[in-house]
Amino acid sequence: MDLTNRNGRENSDVPRTGVRAWLNRRTGLDDLLRASLDEPIPGGARFAYIFGSGLLFIFLSQIITGVFLALYYVPSADHAHTTVVYITKAVTAGSFLRSLHSYGSSAMVVVLLLHLSQTYLYGAYKGRREILWISGCALFGLVLGMAFTGYLLPWDQRAYFATAVGTNAIGEIPGIGESLTRLVRGGTEMGTLTVSRFFVAHVFLIPAFIFALVASHIFLFRKAGAAGPISEDPYNPKQKTEPFYPRQVMMDLSLTALLIAGLGVLAFFAPVPLGPAADPANAQYVPRPEWYYLPIFQWLKYWHGAVSVIGILVIPMILVIAVVALPFLDRSIERRPWKRPVAMGAYVFVIVALVGLGLRSEYQDQHDPGVAKQLALQKTEENDFMRKPFEPELSSGSLAAANVSLADPLAAKGKTIFEAQSCNACHGGGGIGTAAAPALVGISAKFTSDQLVELFAHPTAKMIAGGMPKVDLPPDDLKTLIAYIESLK
Amino acid sequence: MSRSQANSSSTRARELSAPERMPRNRRSFLSALLALGSVCVGVLLSVPLIRFALFPLLRRTTELKESPVGPMTEFLNLSIPVLRNIQIEQVDGWRKAVSEKAVYVTKDSRGQLLVLSSVCPHLGCTVPWDAVKGTFICPCHGAVYAPDGTRVSGPSLRGMDSLETNIQDDQLMVRFQYFRQLVADKEVMG
C-alpha cells in the first residue's frame, strides 16, 4: 500500500521508516486510522452527530459484559435462575456487571431513539442515503430483538411472565400466529426449550446480524458521506468540511464519558434487582414489560376480537413500512424541519402516541387498586428475595432428592442397615448394582418378602459362588432391611 | 490513537481555513492526552471484569463442607465404636450435592475421640463393626482392624483412615474425605 490516503493526497503523518512504517506497509493500519479520522464533516463538528458512536460504544460494552456474564450463566429452565442469582449474589462484581448489561440495554434504546430522531429531524436520510437508512431500521429491529430475548434469560417471575405475554401477542397474528408462537417458544408453553431458543437468538444469531449490519451501516455512511447540517445539500455537499478528528471525536467521547459515568453510577448504586425463580403456576402475577415495550403493551390492550388484526398487524405493518420506505416516500431535498410539516407532524404524532400510551399504562396500573396492590407485592417479593443469601441448587443425584422416595420410615431405617452391613460394597449405593453383584432395584417384582428372608438365610449356590454371605440379623432388622430393598424401584 | 501531526490541509480548498484548525503541537498534545485518558478509563473499566473472571481464584467455589456427627455428650462415655451416618455437602459453584456416608466415632489409645471413615483402605468396601469379636472386619477380603482403627491383620497396607474433626458449639464436626486405596500411607484423593 502506498503512503497516500483515500483522497489520493500524500500523507505527511504516515511514517516512512521504522517499525511503525513496516507495520503499516504490512497491515495498512495507519492508513486505515487516517482514513477514519479524516472523515470530512460538512459544516464542521457538532454535538448533534454524537449518537452514532455512542451506540457503537454501548454495543461494545454489551458484548464485553455479555461475554463475561456467560462465564457463569447456564441457559436451561432448571439452572438459569440459580446461575443468575449466583452471579448477582455470590460472584465478585457480578451484580455490577449484570446491572451494566441490563441498564446498557435501556441506554441502547434511548440513544438509538436519539440517533433516529436526529437523523429524521435533520433530514439526514435524504439524498443518496436510502440503503443507509434501511440498514439503520434493520439495526433498530435487531436491538429491540436483543432486548426482548435478553429479558427472559434470568428466568425470574418478571422475565417469565413478561415474555409469556410478549410471545402470546405473536399468537394474535391471524393464520400463522399460533405456529409462530410455538416456534418461538419451542412448544405450546414456555419452558426450557424457550430459554435455549432465546439464548441462541440473543448470543449467536442477532449479534451476528448486528455485526454485519453495523459494518455495512458504517460503510454505507462513509460511502454516502456525512450529511452535515440542515442547510447542506443532501446530494452535493457544498459547505466547508472539518475532519472527524479532533473536534468531532472529542464531542463523541464526551457522550461516551457521560454514558460510562451514568451507567457506572446507576449499576453501582442502584443494582438491577432479581426476583424469585419463575413459577408458571402463579396465577396472580401481573406481568409488566420493560419500559420501552410499555407503549406496545398498552396498544395491544385496545384490540380484541375480530378487529384485533387491524391493531396488531395492519397498523404496525403500515407504520413499519412507512418508516423503512421513508427515503423513497420523501424524495424532496428540503431538510429544514419548518419546511417539512408532514414529516414533523408525523414525528410529533408518533412520539406523543408512544409517550401517551406508556403513561396511560402507568396511570392504569396506579389507579386499579387490585393491580397496584399486586405490583407492590411483587416489588416486595423481589426485595425480599434480593436480601436472602445465595443458596446452591441441590443437584439431582443428591441424597435429599433420592430420599424423597424413601417416604416410608421403615425403608429409610433399612437403608442404614444396608450400608452398615456393607451390602452397598457389592450391590452399590441405592442397590444400583456393580461389577461384583447384581442390582437390587426392582427386586420386589421377582421375590416376595418371604422368599427374600429364605434367600438371606440360605443363599443359593450361585449366590455363594458370587460371594454373597449368609445374612444373620435379628428378625426386626431383617424386616427393616427387606423393607428398604423392596423400596428400591 | 497516536496521531502525532496535523493534517496537511492546505491541499483541500473546501476544508476549514488554517486559523480555525488546531495548531500542530496542540493536536499532538491532545492525541497524547486522549490516548492516556482512554487507557486510564479502559483500565478502570476492566477492574470489575477481571474481578468477575478471577472470582474462583479469590474465593472457594468448590468446597467439601464439615458435617455434624452429633452432640459431644453422646460420645463422652464411649466404650465401643459407634456408627453414625453423616450428610456430606459438596459445593460445586452454584450447585451442591448431598450424600450420606457412614463413619465410626471411637477413641484412640490415649482416650481421645477419633472419627474413622468406614471405607476400607484396602479396596473401598464398607467395614462393619463386629461387636462379638470386638474388631472391625471387612466382609470383602477379611481385613481386621482394632477398635481405634489400627491394622490387626489381613490384606490392607494401613489402618482405617481417621478424619479431620472439630468441635463447634458442642457438636462434633467432621470433614469427610476419600483416601487412596492399596497404599501404606494415607493420601487424600481429589
Q: Which A residues 222-261 touch B at CB under 8 Å?
A: 240-243, 245-246, 249-250, 253, 257, 260
Q: How far apart are CA A49 and CA A36, in angstroms?
A: 16
Last residue of a domain, one of A387, A412, A445: A387
**Mean pLDDT value of segment A194-213:** 97
- Judge: A400–B98 Cβ closer than 8 Å, yes or no: yes
Q: Which domains does chain B have, with CATH numbers?
A: 1-59 (no CATH), 62-175 (2.102.10.10)
HSE-up (13 A, CA, CB side) for residue A36 = 11
For residues A3 and A89, membership in a common domain is answered with: no
What CATH number corresponds to the domain at position A406? 1.10.760
Cα A286–A289–A291 angle (5° rounding)? 130
pLDDT of amino acid A10: 47
Of the partner residues A13, A97, A240, the one whose CB lies closest to the CB of residue B3: A13
Contact A64, A254 (CB under 8 A): no
Nearby residues of A76 by Cβ (< 8 Å), 6 or more positions away:
A192, A195, A196
pLDDT of amino acid A15: 67
For residues A9 and A54, membership in a common domain is answered with: no
Q: How confident is the model at residue A364 (pLDDT cuts 50, 70, 90)?
A: very high
Q: What is the pLDDT of residues A410-465, one digit of tens each?
A: 787 788 788 777 787 778 777 877 767 788 887 888 888 888 888 888 888 888 88
Does A151 or B11 have the greater pLDDT score? A151
- For B118, name the nearest residue in chain A, comparing CA atoms only: A420
- Judge: B94–A83 Cβ closer than 8 Å, yes or no: yes
Contact B105, B114 (CB under 8 A): yes
- Judge: B5–A91 Cβ closer than 8 Å, yes or no: no
Three-state DSSP at B137 gives strand
Q: How many domains does chain A have?
A: 3
Of the partner residues B3, B94, B100, the one whose CB lies closest to the CB of residue A393: B94
What CATH number corresponds to the domain at position A302? 1.20.810.10
- What's the length of chain A? 489
Residue A71 located in a structural domain: yes
- Judge: A9–B8 Cβ closer than 8 Å, yes or no: yes
Query: Percent of chain A having pLDDT more than 70?
Result: 94
Of the partner residues A92, A240, A392, the one whose CB lies closest to the CB of residue B91: A392
CA distances from A59 to A1, A104, A145, B135 (A): 32, 8, 14, 70
pLDDT of amino acid A133: 97
Give the DSSP H or E segment for B99. strand B95-107
Other Cβ atoms less than 10 A from the Cβ of A468: the count is 19
pLDDT of amino acid B3: 40
For residues A100 and A20, membership in a common domain is answered with: no
**Mean pLDDT value of segment A25-53:** 92
Domain coverage including residue A109: 49-387
Ranges A193-207, A276-290, A367-381, A386-400: which has the least confidence: A386-400
Give residue for cell 458484548.
A63
- Residue A151, pLDDT > 90, answer yes
Residues of A in contact with B40 (CB under 8 A): none
Residues of A in contact with B1 (CB under 8 A): 33, 37
When computed from its CA atoms, the radius of gyration of chain B, rounded to whole angstroms, is 34
For residues A67 and A118, membership in a common domain is answered with: yes
DSSP annotation of A13: T
- Judge: B140–A33 Cβ closer than 8 Å, yes or no: no
Name which of A398, A397, A484 is nearest A441 in CA terms: A484
For residues A135 and A113, membership in a common domain is answered with: yes
Residues of B in contact with A399 (CB under 8 A): 87, 98-100
Contact A36, A244 (CB under 8 A): yes
A13 CB within 8 Å of a chain B CB: yes
Of the partner residues A13, A92, A394, the one whose CB lies closest to the CB of residue B52: A92
For residues A324 and A443, membership in a common domain is answered with: no
Does B185 or A114 have the greater pLDDT score? A114
pLDDT of amino acid A376: 94
- For B100, name the nearest residue in chain A, comparing CA atoms only: A399
Nearby residues of A60 by Cβ (< 8 Å), 6 or more positions away:
none
Residue A265 located in a structural domain: yes
Q: Minimal Cα–Cα distance from A288 to chain B, Å?
A: 29
- Judge: A398–B96 Cβ closer than 8 Å, yes or no: yes
Strand stretches in A348-430, DSSP E: 393-394
pLDDT of amino acid A478: 87
Of the partner residues B3, B16, B98, the one whose CB lies closest to the CB of residue A245: B3
Residue A436 located in a structural domain: yes
User: A393-394 and B95-107: which strand pairing?
Assistant: parallel
A67 is written with which cell numbers? 461475554
> Distance from CA of residue A436 to its chain's centroid?
50
- Judge: B128–A421 Cβ closer than 8 Å, yes or no: yes
Residue A122 located in a structural domain: yes
Among B4, B65, B126, B129, most A C-beta atoms within 10 A, so best to mutate, is: B126
- Judge: B11–A9 Cβ closer than 8 Å, yes or no: yes
- Judge: B92–A395 Cβ closer than 8 Å, yes or no: yes
- Judge: A397–B100 Cβ closer than 8 Å, yes or no: no
Residue A347 located in a structural domain: yes
For residues A168 and A96, membership in a common domain is answered with: yes
Does B24 or A40 have the greater pLDDT score? A40
Last residue of a domain, one of A336, A365, A387: A387
Give the DSSP H or E segment for A146. helix A130-152
pLDDT of amino acid B6: 40
pLDDT of amino acid B142: 85
pLDDT of amino acid A107: 97
The partner residues of B87 in beta bridges, in order of sequence, read: B100
Q: How far apart are CA B72 and CA A64, in angstroms?
A: 53
Taking phi over 0 as left and psi of -120 to 50 as alpha, with beta for the rest, B51 belongs to alpha
**Mean pLDDT value of segment A69-77:** 97
Residue A165 located in a structural domain: yes
Contact B20, B6 (CB under 8 A): no
Nearby residues of A420 by Cβ (< 8 Å), 6 or more positions away:
B83, B102, B126, B128
A392 CB within 8 Å of a chain B CB: yes
HSE-up (13 A, CA, CB side) for residue A78 = 5
Give residue for cell 481555513.
B17
Quote the ipTM score. 0.80
Q: Minimal Cα–Cα distance from A69 to chain B, Å?
A: 9
Q: How far apart are CA A385 and CA A256, in angstroms?
A: 34
Of the partner residues B49, B97, B127, the one whose CB lies closest to the CB of residue A397: B97
Among B11, B94, B130, most A C-beta atoms within 10 A, so best to mutate, is: B94
Ranges A70-79, A129-138, A358-367, B112-121: which has the least confidence: B112-121
Q: Quote the mean pLDDT of chain A.
A: 90
pLDDT of amino acid B12: 43
CA distances from B102 to A415, A471, B85, B86, B167 (A): 11, 20, 4, 6, 19
Q: Print pLDDT tens along chain B (190 aa).
A: 334 344 443 334 455 554 455 666 777 788 888 899 999 999 999 999 999 999 999 888 888 888 888 888 888 888 889 888 888 888 899 998 888 888 999 988 888 889 999 888 988 888 888 888 899 998 888 899 999 999 999 899 999 999 999 888 888 999 988 888 888 888 887 6
For residues A23 and A162, membership in a common domain is answered with: no
For residues A243 and A275, membership in a common domain is answered with: yes
pLDDT of amino acid B136: 92
A76 CB within 8 Å of a chain B CB: no
Give the DSSP H or E segment for B145. strand B144-145
Does A90 or A396 have the greater pLDDT score? A90
For residues A89 and A153, membership in a common domain is answered with: yes
Last residue of a domain, one of A339, A362, A387: A387
Contact B180, B187 (CB under 8 A): yes
- Judge: A243–B15 Cβ closer than 8 Å, yes or no: yes
Residues of B in contact with A71 (CB under 8 A): 52-53
Q: Minimal Cα–Cα distance from A155 to chain B, Å?
A: 16
A29 CB within 8 Å of a chain B CB: no
Three-state DSSP at B123 gives coil
> Global pTM?
0.81
HSE-up (13 A, CA, CB side) for residue A137 = 17
Residues of B in contact with A33 (CB under 8 A): 1, 3
For residues A420 and A359, membership in a common domain is answered with: no
Residues of B in contact with A419 (CB under 8 A): 85, 100, 102, 126
Residue A278 located in a structural domain: yes
Q: What is the pLDDT of residues A216-257, one digit of tens each?
A: 999 999 999 999 999 999 999 999 999 998 999 999 999 999
Of the partner residues B16, B27, B102, the one whose CB lies closest to the CB of residue A242: B16
Does A122 or B141 have the greater pLDDT score? A122
The partner residues of B95 in beta bridges, in order of sequence, read: A393, B92
Does B72 or A214 have the greater pLDDT score? A214
A338 is written with which cell numbers? 419548518
pLDDT of amino acid A403: 56
* Omega before B121 within 30 of 0, i.e. cis: no
A-B CB pairs within 8 A amount to: 140
Q: Minimal Cα–Cα distance from A95 to chain B, Å?
A: 10
- For A241, name the nearest residue in chain B, comparing CA atoms only: B15
Residue A392 located in a structural domain: no
pLDDT of amino acid B20: 53
Amino acid at B135: T
For residues A281 and A318, membership in a common domain is answered with: yes
Q: How far apart are CA B169 and CA B117, in angstroms?
A: 23
A123 is written with which cell numbers? 433530514
CA distances from A228 to A43, A46, A194, A224, B22 (A): 6, 9, 45, 11, 21
DSSP annotation of A173: S
**Mean pLDDT value of segment A320-332:** 95
Q: How far apart are CA B165 and CA B167, in angstroms?
A: 7
Work out the end-to-end distance of chain B between its first and last CA atoms, rounded to an integer number of angstroms.
49
